[in-house]
Amino acid sequence: MTQVAAPPRWPDVVWDAAVLRGIDGRARAEIEAAGRLREMRAGDHVYRAGEPADALYVVVEGSCALVAVRRGEADASVIRSVSRGDVFGEEATVVDHGLRQMDAKCVARGSVAEVPLAVLRRALGRSGAAEFASRLERALRRAATLDLFRTTAFTRALPDRDLELLLDAAQHEKIARGDHVYREGDEAPGAYLVADGLLQAQSEDGGAPRVEGYLTRGDVFGDDELEDRSRRRASVVASGPAWVVGLPRDVFLAVARRNVAILDGVRRVRTEALPAPLGMQTTAHVFQDLYRMRVARSLLVIDQDSCIRCGHCAWSCASTHDDGISRLVRRGDKVLVRRDEEKTAPLLVPNSCQHCKNPSCMIDCPTGAIGRDARGEVFIREELCTGCGLCAKACPWDNIQIAPRSDAKHAFPEVAVKCDLCSSSAGGPACVNACPTQAIARIDPNQALVELRGAPKLAPTAIGSRDAGVRGLGVLPARAPAWPWVLGGALAAAGVALSPIARDAFWSGVIAACLVALLVAYAALKRTPRILARVRGSGRLARAAYVAHLSLGALVTGATLAHTHARAPGNAAGALAIAMALALASGAFGALVNVAIPRRLSRLERKSVLPEELAARRREIDEKIFARLSGKSEVVKAIYGRLLRPYRGRRLGSLWLVVGGRSLREEEKALRAHASRLLEGRKSERLDGLDELVKLVVEHRAAGAQRLLTFALRGWLGVHLASTAIALVLLVAHVVAVMVRR
C-alpha cells in the first residue's frame, strides 16, 4: 500500500512568536491542518490592500515589508518591516470579514506561515484557554492599532513617548451601520480616530439631519469640545460597519497640547462654526447613499438615458440560470452623476448583488455558505445553504432572494440566490451581454465615478463633455453609433430600388426573402443568452446585432419596393406586401422612440419602478398625499384645495407634462412659484409640509406621463411582432406558390 507523506510540521520559530507562544499541542495541530506554509520569492505579495483580512502571518525565513500610502501623502511608504519570528496581518482581528489596509511584500526570499484567524480562535476556545485568548486578542489589537497610527497624519508625526501613551489608552469600538458614535448634545469624554469604515458628521436642520461631512480611515474627530468641556455640537453616525479608536479626554489633551501644530494641520472636521456648513462638503445631492457606493466592488448600473425598458437584462439572467430565477430586478435607486455645474446624467442601481468589500451577508450566515474569493467576488455554496434567510435580511439593499431549490430532494427546500457575475460563462454577465443599447454595465464605483475617486474630498464639477452623459465620463463603455449604418442601409435600399435588378421580379424577390430571413435571425439571436454567454465581448455583439437589424430593416424596405414596385395587388401577394409594410413601419417607429423617449422618461423618474407597477403608482401617491394632509395647517390645506388638488386632477395633465418637456424639478419649481403668488409673498411657519405636498402632486402627474411614455416604448412591439409573423406565413406561402408555378 502506498503511504501518503504527512505534511511537514511547522518549525518552532512559528510557535515561538510572541503572540503564539504558549498555545497547547492540540491547538497547534488544528492550526497546522488548516493553515499553510508559503514559499515566497523576493517581490512576491503575501497579500494586497483590499483583499479579505482573515489570517495572521509569521515570518519563518526571510523578511517582508508592510507598504501603504500614508494619509496626506501621494506615494506608498514602508510602514513596518518584519523578519524571522515576527507576526503581521493583525488587522484581521479587529473587523470581521474586513479588508487589508496595506500591501505585504516579501523583501528577501523565504517563507511565511499562514494562520487562519477563525481556526486560531476556535482552537483556543476548545482548549479552554480563555485567559490566553483574551491576552492574545489584546496584543494583536495593539499591534494593529500601532500600524494604524503609523499611517495616520496626526499620530505618525508624534514622538515615541506620546505614541505609546495613546496606544496604552486606546479603546476599540465597533459601530454598526446606522449607529451613532455620539449625538449632538452628548457629553464629550474623548476624541476618536477612524480605523476603518465611513462615518457621517450631521447637524440638525429644521428637525432633519443634514450631512456636513464624511469621515474615513485616518480621520481625527470629536476633539473640538474637549478643551472647554462643552457638549457635542454635531452627531456622528456610521454609514456602514465601522471601527473607531477612542482616545480618552485627559490623554488626548495631554498629547495634543504638546503637538498643537500637528493636530491643527490634520483635523478633518471642525464644529466650532456649526450650524454653518463645514469645510468638507458632501456629494449627497449626487449620491443618496455614499456608503453603498464606497463598499461596492462590482456595482450594476443602467444608463437611464439609453435604457429602452425592454427587460432583456432580467430575462437573460433568468434564462442563463438553471432555476429560471433572475438575479436582478430592474427596480432600485436612481443616482445622478454630475456632468457639469448644472447638468447630471441619471444612473439606475437595480437590485443585484454588488459584491461588497465588507459583506454583511457573510457575517450573519450560520453555516459558512457565503464565501469570498481572492478577487473579492462574494459567492454562495448552495450545498451548504439552509435557506434560513439571514443573509437576505442582513443585506441593506435587498440583493439576495430566497427561492425554491431546483433539486426537490434536498433536505432544505429553499436556497439563497444572488448575482454570481455569471462566473461560469466566458462572456461575463448575461444582463450586460443581452442589452441592445449597451445601457448596462458592471463597474467599480470607486474607480469609475469621479465623485467617489476623490471622496470624501470635493470632486471637480466639470466632468466630461456637455453632451456625453455617463459614457463621456467613462462610467459606461462607448456605444457603437447606429445612424451611420442605418443611413448606409437606406442608401443601399435606394440603390436596390433603382437598379436593373428591380425589373426582374424573381431575383428581386429572392433578395428580399433572404434579407427578411436575416431580419428574423436577430430575434433568434436575442433569445439565446446561453450562446451569447460563451462569446467574449458579447455585449458588443448584442449591440452590433441590434444595429445590423436596423440597417437590414432599411435595406429590406428598398428590396421590397423593388420587388412590388410599391403596389399591393388584390391577392395573397398584396396581403404580404401590406404585412411587410406594417412590420417595417412599426419597426422604424420603434427605432425612433427608442432614441427619443428614454431620455425624456428619465427626467420624470424620481426612482425607477417596473412597468407593471405604474398602474398602481398613482393610488400609492394619493394615499401619501392624504396622509400628509392630516394635521397640516389651514393655510396648507387651503393652498392644496385651490392649487394642488386641481393640478393633480387636471385632465390631460400628464400629456401636457410629456409635451412640455419639463423635468420633475422644473415642474416643482414652477408649482412653488405659483403657490408663492397665491401667498403674495407672505411667509408663515404654518406652511410646514407644503414642499412635500408639491413633490407628491407633481409625482402623481409624472406617474401618468411615465405610463404614456412606457406604453410608447413597449406598445409598438406587439404590432411589430404580429405583423412580422403574418408576413412570414404569407412569405412562405408566396414562395411555395412561385416555386409551384415555376
**CATH code for position 236:** 2.60.120.10
- Cβ-contact 263, 223 below 8 angstroms: yes
Neighbours of 674 (CB within 10 A): 15
Identify the pLDDT of residue 569. Answer: 79
Chain centroid, CA 253 distance in Å: 41
Biggest CA-to-CA distance, the chain:
105
d(CA 60, CA 14) in angstroms, rounded, equals 7
State whether 437 and 568 are in the same domain.
Answer: no
Instruction: Name the nearest CA neighbour of 546 among 490, 610, 590.
Output: 590
Beta bridge partners of 115: 56
Domain assignment present for 308: yes
* 714 inside domain: no
Contact criterion met (CB below 8 Å) for 269 and 213: yes
Low-confidence ranges of the chain (pLDDT < 50): 1-6, 265-288, 453-468
Q: Is residue 280 part of a domain?
A: no
For residues 311 and 449, state if they share a domain: yes
> In this predicted model, what pLDDT tens digit does every residue of 265-282 receive, in sequence order?
444 444 443 333 332 233
In three-state secondary structure terms, 28 is helix
In this structure, the answer to whether residues 457 and 504 fall within a common structural domain is: no
Residues in the chain, how many?
742
In a domain, 343, yes or no: yes
The CA–CA distances, whole Å, from 128 to 94, 125, 131, 648, 733 equal 22, 5, 9, 70, 85
Torsion of CA 223, 229, 235, 237, to 10 degrees: 50
Q: Are residues 144 and 215 in the same domain?
A: no
197 phi and psi angles, rounded to 5 deg: 100, -175
Cβ atoms of 470 and 476 within 8 Å: the answer is yes
CATH number for the domain that contains residue 453: 3.30.70.20
- CA-CA-CA-CA torsion sign (421, 426, 428, 429): negative
What pLDDT shows up at residue 465?
33
Cα separation, 177 vs 415, whole angstroms: 26
d(CA 40, CA 31): 20
Angle between helices 538-564 and 483-498 in degrees, nearest 10: 20
DSSP sequence for 249-313: HHHHHHHHHHTHHHHHHH-----TTTTSPPSS---TTT-S-HHHHHH-SSEEEEETTT-----HH
SS3 of residue 125 by DSSP:
helix
Please report where in the chains the cell 422612440 appears, as a residue: 593
Q: Which cell numbers in the block locate residue 319?
A: 434564462
273 domain-assigned: no
End of a domain among 151, 180, 206? 151
d(CA 550, CA 525): 14
The cell for 680 is 403674495
Q: Which residues are CB-neighbours of 401 under 8 A, at least 6 positions away?
A: 325, 327, 392, 416, 417, 418
Chain-centroid distance of CA 733 in Å reads 51
d(CA 734, CA 672): 63
Question: Going by C-beta distance under 8 Å and a sequence separation of 6 or more, which residues neighbour residue 696?
Answer: 621, 624, 625, 628
Q: Are residues 129 and 212 in the same domain?
A: no
Q: Are 327 and 454 found together in one domain?
A: yes
Task: Identify whether residues 70 and 90 lie together within a single domain.
Answer: yes
pLDDT 10s digits, 146-193: 888 887 767 777 888 888 888 888 888 888 888 999 998 899 999 998
Report the distance separating Cα 635 and Cα 463, nearest Å. Answer: 44
Question: Before 189, cis peptide (omega within 30)?
Answer: no
Q: Is there a single domain that holds both residue 421 and residue 299?
A: yes
Is 645 in the same domain as 734? no
Alpha-carbon gap, residue 420 to 670, rounded angstroms: 46
Domain boundaries, position 499: 483-603+719-741
Q: Cβ(49)–Cβ(76) under 8 Å?
A: no
> What is the rounded distance in angstroms from the CA atom of residue 35 to the CA atom of residue 28?
10
Residues with Cβ < 8 Å from 154, sequence gap 6 or more?
193, 220, 259, 262, 263, 266
Tell me which amino acid residue 638 is. A
Could you give the 3-state DSSP secondary structure of residue 578? helix
Which of 711, 702, 620 minimizes the C-alpha distance to 666? 702
Of 96, 121, 151, which marks where a domain is finished? 151
SS3 215: strand
pTM for this entry:
0.67
Q: How far apart, in whole angstroms, are the C-alpha atoms of residue 312 and residue 291?
A: 29
Same structural domain, 344 and 424: yes
Domain presence at residue 683? yes
Residue 541 and residue 659 share a domain: no
* DSSP 8-state symbol, 627: H
- Out of 421, 451, 472, a domain closes at 472
- Are 115 and 53 in contact by the 8 Å Cβ rule? The answer is no
Question: Same structural domain for residues 655 and 581?
Answer: no
pLDDT score recorded for residue 226: 86
* Residue at 5 is within a domain: no
Indicate the DSSP class of residue 11.
Answer: P
**Do the domain assignments include residue 127?**
yes
- Name, in order, each residue with C-beta under 8 angstroms of 47's C-beta and a sequence gap of 6 or more: 53, 89, 100, 103, 104
Closest CA relative to residue 318, chosen from 409, 444, 434: 434
Amino acid at 32: E
Q: Specify the 3-state DSSP secondary structure of 415.
A: strand
| Number of separate domains in the chain | 5
Q: What is the pLDDT of residue 114?
A: 94
Question: Residue 276: phi, psi to the nearest 5?
Answer: -65, 150
User: Among residues 401, 365, 400, which one has the least CA distance to residue 385?
Assistant: 365
pLDDT of the residue at 289 = 60
